[in-house]
Amino acid sequence: MAAVLPAPAAERLAQDAFVAHAKLTPFVTRTIEPVGPQYLAHARRALRGRTWSEDERIEAESAVKNVEADVVSEDEEEEDPATLARDPKEWKGQDHYKVLGLSKYRFRATDEQIRRAHRKKVLKHHPDKKAASGGLDDDGFFKCIQKAMEILSDPVKRRQFDSVDEEADVPPPSRKAKGSFYKQWGPVFEAEGRFSRKQPVPKLGDETSTKPEVDGFYGFFYKFDSWRSFEYLDEDAPDDTDNRDHKRHVERKNRAARQRHKTEDTARLRKLVDDCLALDPRIKQFKDAERKAKEQKKWDRDADARKAAEEAKKAKEDAERKAKEEEERAKNDKASSKKAKEAAKNAKKKNRRTVKGAAKEVNYFVPAGTDASAAVISEVLTAVDALAEKVDDEALAEVAGALTASGVDSAAVKAAYAAAAEKLVAGGKAKAEEFAVFSV
């Protein structure tokens, strides 16, 4: 019997009921590539003729084998027979990192490395696996593995164990050790730096390190802020509440022991830094550089003093030289002045002699062949003396010159006297009566 479809609703047939809200976007052609895990799984099933369930089972088994192979194929640390034979009750004395095969990592081991190492050890040392393989059903080391995982997977407990993990320490080199100072001491402080609250920890550096860097390194370790607490070494307090006094006593002992360990560790680190500082070749270099800088500064300061002293000495010598020159000049001037004065004096004397002698040469103005009387000589000489006394040196020299030029000409000599007398009278230095004898 054929099925009859119901008639469409009346509103769907009505053209007025359709409303267009938007236009269709144009078609875009895209290239689809068969990629991705789903396609690979499809291709694998198709190529190998597997069903879905078969493929899932086979891939799961392969994944398990790969995980076990990956765990076992890691660089496995050789197991120490003494470690394998440890008593799990003495778990505080065991090296948890060594138990898990992480001796080379220790405090640097990541949580993932710890997890993988634990899984590897469990796969290898699980009691059921040993029993299945015909081995002894001894779970002692397995308990050690579980305890190591318990300690190292807990951040607080792991930090307590790292606080006392001596295997992570790097012993300092001896004072007589040969080799690079930086390669020997650098790892020592890198190991010590794991206990610092402040990170990052400065490096020891090398021969190229600057003085501020070296001072910063030693200053950091001299003021080292350590988180080391030594709780791991505490004596276990009894859990029962019947003997509370004993429990308090154990707690006090533990606190005192932690404080003692802390003090000893601080002293140990201080001595370590002191020893390193004493052997650091850079310290001697810095001291030598500072000494040279001080000497250079002193030299520069002394050089300034020497320069100032030399300049003062030179200035003094220049002043003395100038004073000497001035003294010599003054002396020479004085000598020249003295000579000039003497010359002037001599010239004046000479001029006076000439002035006084000129009258005598011309027979005191008396005609030739006639002897001048004493009265005439006295009158002429009085006038000549008055003239010689009252004229200045320059005028005296002029008169002497004129008289010399006149020679023995009586009229010319008298005219020369008369000219000089007129100047004296005109200048108000003498009276005309004094020189009446010179009148022509």
pLDDT tens-digit map of 375-426: 777 777 887 777 778 777 777 778 778 777 877 777 777 777 778 777 877 8
Tell me, yes or no, whether 266 and 254 share the same domain.
yes
Tell me, yes or no, whether 386 and 417 share the same domain.
yes
Confidence class for position 66, pLDDT limits 50, 70, 90: low
What pLDDT was estimated at residue 42? 86
What pLDDT was estimated at residue 319? 87
Structural domain of residue 120, as residue ranges?
Answer: 65-165
Tell me whether residue 299 is in a domain: no
| C-alpha distances out from residue 180 to 186, 277, 369, Å | 10, 15, 134
What pLDDT was estimated at residue 151? 93
Confidence class for position 242, pLDDT limits 50, 70, 90: low
| Residue at a domain's end among 165, 191, 207 | 165
Tell me whether residue 83 is in a domain: yes
Domain of 139, CATH number, reads: 1.10.287.110
Indicate the average pLDDT of the chain: 82
Tell me, yes or no, whether 147 and 176 share the same domain.
no
Lowest-pLDDT range of 102-116, 269-283, 310-324: 310-324
Mean pLDDT for the stretch of residues 117-145: 79
What pLDDT was estimated at residue 14? 52
Lowest-pLDDT range of 97-101, 127-131, 227-231: 127-131
The total domain count for the chain is 3
Domain of 391, CATH number, reads: 1.10.8.840
Mean pLDDT for the stretch of residues 331-359: 77
| C-alpha distances out from residue 406 to 198, 376, 411, Å | 124, 21, 9
Per-residue pLDDT reduced to its tens digit, 259-270: 999 999 999 999
Q: Confirm whether pTM is higher than 0.85.
A: no
